[in-house]
């Protein structure tokens, strides 16, 4: 509530401020963290499989703070499962919304949308990926949460590994959804943004192969780099890559177009304006006929 004489809070900036609170630590939890997620349109219970902050990409916009050392370097599975149990109970009982951090969650967003595997690195690099997915699915089942999704937020770099493929199939059987990162149309731009030694073609092949088995969500983050938005040629190439996946019988159910909303690794990375995000989504829609969802940025981090 605002004081007399003050302007009332702008609901859009309030929502954007809430959505920037993606800290991975909830009280004394180390591996599980509830967040109010704008892309999930509700509460997403995150599971961090990379507490050591190691990733096989080094994205220029990554929000993981790698300037400070990791407090936890390996996954203690027993603690992770306990935290998942407690986290689910807190959300289902409504206790979560009595905590200071979630007290201001709008009523319509007080719903558990998913258990999301993401965290401080690429989740599919976790050695026993299939086993941990199976164990978390079992916990979800025990709580009768068939409607709650299991979302894998991934850079798609490890889909070709056998145990990861097995993990993806377990997700399929448990209301899973794969959000695969793709935000370049050319090798050059991919290397500029994602800074990895993994070839762009490997990512495209992995996304195509996975999308031939189940429909994927593409997460595409576009930004200004040294104040330059992605060029029209790059965006056209991005649409070409999506069309190639479709032509290879890959199923894509949604392209999430978003921009910077949390403090990026590199200070030369800044968000696009809302109109620029809209224009990119329109281009993708008209060039690929795929549905898009847009999420705007903020520098309020």
Could you list the residues that contact ligand SF4 (CB under 6 A)?
A: 55, 57-59, 62, 64, 121-122, 155
Q: Which two tokens stand for residue 286?
A: 């008209």
Q: Taking the complex as a whole, how short is the minimal distance between the CB of residue 70 and ligand SF4, in angstroms?
A: 13
* Inter-CA distances, 293 with 22, 63, 155, Å: 20, 21, 19
Q: Taking the complex as a whole, how short is the minimal distance between the CB of residue 59 and ligand SF4, in angstroms?
A: 3
- On whether the CB atoms of residues 84 and 120 are closer than 8 A, the answer is no
Q: Taking the complex as a whole, how short is the minimal distance between the CB of residue 287 and ligand SF4, in angstroms?
A: 25
Q: Taking the complex as a whole, how short is the minimal distance between the CB of residue 238 and ligand SF4, in angstroms?
A: 17
Alpha-carbon span 148 to 204, nearest angstrom: 28
- On whether the CB atoms of residues 23 and 225 are closer than 8 A, the answer is no
CB closer to ligand SF4, 58 vs 236: 58
CB closer to ligand SF4, 105 vs 270: 270
CB closer to ligand SF4, 114 vs 183: 183
Residue 57 neighbours by CB under 8 Å, 6+ apart: 122, 155, 157, 194, 195, 196, 198
* Phi and psi at residue 97, to the nearest 5°: -80, 0
Alpha-carbon span 162 to 160, nearest angstrom: 6
CB closer to ligand SF4, 121 vs 250: 121
Q: Taking the complex as a whole, how short is the minimal distance between the CB of residue 92 and ligand SF4, in angstroms?
A: 29
* Phi and psi at residue 54, to the nearest 5°: -85, 135
Q: Taking the complex as a whole, how short is the minimal distance between the CB of residue 284 and ligand SF4, in angstroms?
A: 20
CB closer to ligand SF4, 119 vs 185: 119
CB closer to ligand SF4, 102 vs 179: 179
Q: Which two tokens stand for residue 251?
A: 């199923």
């Amino acid at each position: 509530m605002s004081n007399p004489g003050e302007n009332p809070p702008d609901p859009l900036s309030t929502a954007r401020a809430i959505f920037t609170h993606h800290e991975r630590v909830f009280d004394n939890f180390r591996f599980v963290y509830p967040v109010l997620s704008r892309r999930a349109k509700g509460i997403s219970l995150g599971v961090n499989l990379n507490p050591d902050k190691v990733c096989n990409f080094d994205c220029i916009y990554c929000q993981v703070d790698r300037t400070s050392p990791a407090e936890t370097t390996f996954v203690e599975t027993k603690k992770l499962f306990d935290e998942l149990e407690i986290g689910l109970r807190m959300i289902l009982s409504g206790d979560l919304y009595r905590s200071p951090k979630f007290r201001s969650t709008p009523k319509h967003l007080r719903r558990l949308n998913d258990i999301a595997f993401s965290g401080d690195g690429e989740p599919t690099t976790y050695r026993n990926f299939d086993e941990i997915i199976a164990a978390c699915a079992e916990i979800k089942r025990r709580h009768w949460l068939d409607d709650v999704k299991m979302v894998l937020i991934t850079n798609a770099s490890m889909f070709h590994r056998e145990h990861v493929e097995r993990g993806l199939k377990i997700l399929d059987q448990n209301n899973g959804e794969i959000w695969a990162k793709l935000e370049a149309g050319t090798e050059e731009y991919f290397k500029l943004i994602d800074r990895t030694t993994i070839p762009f073609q490997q990512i495209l092949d992995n996304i195509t192969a996975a999308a031939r088995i189940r429909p994927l969500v593409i997460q595409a983050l576009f930004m200004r780099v040294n104040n330059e938005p992605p060029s029209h040629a790059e965006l056209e190439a991005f649409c070409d890559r999506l069309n190639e996946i479709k032509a290879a019988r890959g199923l894509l159910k949604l392209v999430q177009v978003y921009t910077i909303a949390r403090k990026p690794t590199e200070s030369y990375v800044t968000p696009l304006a809302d109109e620029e995000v809209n224009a990119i989504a329109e281009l993708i829609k008209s060039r690929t006929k795929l549905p898009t969802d847009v999420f705007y940025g903020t520098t309020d981090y």
